[in-house]
Amino acid sequence: MSELLRGAPRAEDALAEVARCLLCGSEESELRFEEPPFRVVRCKSCALVWVTPRRDPSRLVEIYQTAYWHSDAAKDFGYTDYQRDASLYRRTYLRRYSAIARHCKTPGEVLDVGCAAGFFLSVMKEKGWRTQGVEVSGYIAEFGRKNYGLDVIVGTLDEAAPVLGDRRFDLITFWDVVEHLPDPIAVLRRAASFLRPGGKLLLETQNVRSLFARVLGQRWQHYKHHEHLYHFDPRTVRELCRQAGLRVIENRARLGGKYVSLGFVRERAGRVHPLLSTLLFPLKLVERSPLYVNLFDEMIVVCEKA
Ligand SMILES: [Zn+2]
């Protein structure tokens, strides 16, 4: 198998049903839609949305290896060429820095969980923060080490915990991570234990009740069933945090926009309707030009220990 295909999901991968709601334990759920073998269901009691069936938790990290960062079907899985878009990601995080500056008056120590290529941490380093990354993909972690001189522990947060030891952080971030975790309560609870008194935990995740998500229905770009296991909304994300021992102090969509290339717009528009992608074909000529897009379907949630 080519190295670039390592970790790509295959049709024969074993999947297991998830019948019970993570947040309230209810087994009463209703079907929102189906894309075999996957079903997107919503808890009748607390409205949490999740995907079933899914990979065994122990085998989930496999899908974040090389293929995830060089996907040939990014609208369903992973990224087309994650490192190539470094300048777009860094520009996005520079803009989002204002969300952090509101809560952290002076630079301190930051831990980024699921730091990927280290784009966010590279920005934080420039702002004067001391940085630490944790990332399950050794392949993408290496990029951050080489290009930005970052310290990245390869593994899950649980695996990184003994290495982190008694270090404590002023800020812990999860950018587009919690929706990928089979047990986000446990991971956030563990993360909270690494906060200094007064420290903040920031997470970003997609809002399944946003206008954009409701209008697009099952064509919403965040339905990527191999990787996005949960879809939160302002209420369920607050409950998630509460169960992890965190209190939400702010939840805003305003800074949830991102810089994207016009090529990306064309590729994602194809998911809404194949014809759109064809109509937008002229964008191919300028597809590396950056564009700031905010669909107000992301939440940037800032918490502190309850
Ligand atoms: Zn529930």
pLDDT tens digits, 51-108: 999 988 877 788 888 888 888 777 777 888 888 889 999 999 999 999 999 999 999 9
Residue 218 alpha carbon to ligand 1 centre in Å: 21
Helices (H) and strands (E) in the chain, counts: 10, 13
Residue 75 alpha carbon to ligand 1 centre in Å: 28
pTM of the model: 0.90
Least confident window among 1-10, 12-21, 119-128? 1-10
Residue 303 alpha carbon to ligand 1 centre in Å: 22
The CB-side HSE value for 16 (13 A sphere, CA atoms) comes to: 9
Domains located in the chain, CATH noted: 3-305 (3.40.50.150)
Residue 45 alpha carbon to ligand 1 centre in Å: 5
pLDDT at 128 over 80: yes
Compute φ and ψ for 116, nearest 5 degrees.
50, -130
Residue 163 alpha carbon to ligand 1 centre in Å: 35
Residue 213 alpha carbon to ligand 1 centre in Å: 20
Residue 136 alpha carbon to ligand 1 centre in Å: 28
Four-point Cα dihedral 115, 119, 125, 126, nearest 10: -170
Closest C-alpha among 140, 203, 148, 141 to residue 171? 203
Contact 209/49 with Cβ under 8 angstroms? Answer: no
Residue 50 alpha carbon to ligand 1 centre in Å: 10
Share of the chain above pLDDT 70, in %: 93
The residue-averaged pLDDT of 227-255 equals 96
Contact 240/234 with Cβ under 8 angstroms? Answer: no
131 in the Ramachandran plot: left (φ > 0), alpha (ψ -120 to 50) or beta?
Answer: beta
Specify the pLDDT at position 59.
79
Residue 28 alpha carbon to ligand 1 centre in Å: 8
Here the tokens at position 261 are 């290339």
Residue 27 alpha carbon to ligand 1 centre in Å: 8
114 in the Ramachandran plot: left (φ > 0), alpha (ψ -120 to 50) or beta?
Answer: left
Residue 42 alpha carbon to ligand 1 centre in Å: 8
Residue 240 alpha carbon to ligand 1 centre in Å: 11
Kindly give the pairing relationship between strand 130-135 and strand 109-113. Answer: parallel
